[in-house]
Amino acid sequence: MAAAPPAFTGNLKKALAGLRRINLDGLRWRVFDAKGQVLGRLASQIAVVLQGKDKPTYAPHVENGDMCIVLNAKDISVTGRKMTDKIYYWHTGYIGHLKDRRLKDQMEKDPTEVIRKAVLRMLPRNRLRDDRDRKLRIFSGNEHPLHDRPLEPFVMPPRQVREMRPRARRALIRAQKKEQANRAKEEEDAKNAKAEVTA
């Protein structure tokens, strides 16, 4: 007998909001695990599934994307210094009220909003955007209230790492040689110091 799924402790009303407005006939429920995934790469895959671009029936004017459930939003990762350098801006409408918030602070406040913004900004700005937004369900933890649906885990495609450019490779080799030379010099100095002590 399978173990019972963990009880959902979040806001159930918010998690199930707008489901009645979606035609769920024939839709697949794709589950994305965001743990350890790079934000932009995950968001681009979610955007493809939301638009239905992975189906042979794709048409830009027809809404035939699948439901997307994103788990572990709080464990998303970013490359470089984006955690401290990336800033979200918005304006309240009053003069001089341009607000900003760093990605690190947004992750502490609401990590689901980080993924939502990344995905929505990858979608085309047209009339289908609101329907696609309703099909996206993001949860900060591992628990969700949609266990009664036929869920399919989404397998992220393998990351294709580009070969290093020649100039960068040469710089890396120079740095490695310099480090080896420094290490050899330190070992020689240590040997000389030991010889002086014993003499």
User: Does 1 have pLDDT greater than 70?
Assistant: no
Query: Which of 40, 31, 108 is closest to 70 using CA atoms?
Result: 31
CA distance 57 to 135: 18
What does the pLDDT look like over 147-194, one tens digit per residue? Answer: 888 889 999 888 776 777 788 888 888 999 999 999 999 999 888 888
What does the pLDDT look like over 12-47, one tens digit per residue? Answer: 777 778 888 888 888 899 999 999 999 999 999 999
Query: Which of 44, 27, 12, 22 is closest to 123 using CA atoms?
Result: 44
What does the pLDDT look like over 47-61, one tens digit per residue? Answer: 999 999 999 999 999
* HEC sequence for the chain: CCCCCCCCCCCHHHHCCCHHHCCCCCCCEEEEECCCCEHHHHHHHHHHHHHCCCCCCCCCCCCCCCEEEEECHHHCECCCCHHHHCEEEEECCCCCCEEEEEHHHHHHHCHHHHHHHHHHCCCCCCCCHHHHHHCEEECCCCCCCCCCCCEEECCCCCCCCCCCCHHHHHHHHHHHHHHHHHHHHHHHHHHHHHHHHHC
Q: Which amino acid is at 149?
A: R
Average pLDDT, stretch 101-109?
95
* Angstrom distances, CA of residue 41 to CA of 76, 117, 126: 11, 14, 23
CA distance 80 to 63: 35
CA distance 152 to 54: 15
CA distance 41 to 69: 16
User: Does 2 have pLDDT greater than 60?
Assistant: no
User: Does 11 have pLDDT greater than 60?
Assistant: yes
